Amino acid sequence: MQRHSILRFLVFVVFFSSGAAALGGAVLCDDLIRYCRNRETLRQAELSIRRLESLNAEYDVLLEQLEGNPDLLKRIAPIALGTERKDPNTAYPKARARELALARKAVVDHLGEEPAEASIPKWLQRCSDPPKRIGLFISGASLILISMVCFTSAQTEEE
């Protein structure tokens, strides 16, 4: 008799827990999707913060170099301001727009720019479909009812 009640309890636990998981998944599907999207947004924000911190570090180094070497400012100023340089014995190459675009793309790719992909798991996308969500809810509720009705401990009358 003891073995029968242990088996009954194990079957009850399996049915009830799978039903509760299905029911909870159906009810909390929207919240889980929102959680996944927020997690992806947070990851992108942290990536942006890391990029900005690296740019700040690069600019700090550049400012330190400018403070230490005033001649550097004379060489950078015409490029930054877009004015013509007036060194008679120096050849200045001109960069074309296409070359600059390719260089910009290489730098952005090098920074680790990842394409924005849906971070929502496929199983969650399938569960968010309304007919499947209703089916998941009904099956979870049915499993809970079956476990309560069929596998609860039987009342024995002792006389």
Query: Stretch 144-156: mean pLDDT, rounded?
Result: 80
Q: Which one of 1-15, 37-51, 55-69, 75-89 scores highest in mean pLDDT?
A: 37-51
Q: What is the pLDDT of residue 115?
A: 47
Q: What is the pLDDT of residue 73?
A: 77
pTM assigned to the model: 0.59
pLDDT at 159 over 50: no
- Write b or e for each residue in 60-72: b if 16 or more Cβ atoms lie within 10 A of its Cβ, otherwise e: eeeeeeeeeeeee
pLDDT (tens digit per residue) in 97-137: 787 788 788 777 765 555 455 578 898 888 889 999 999 99
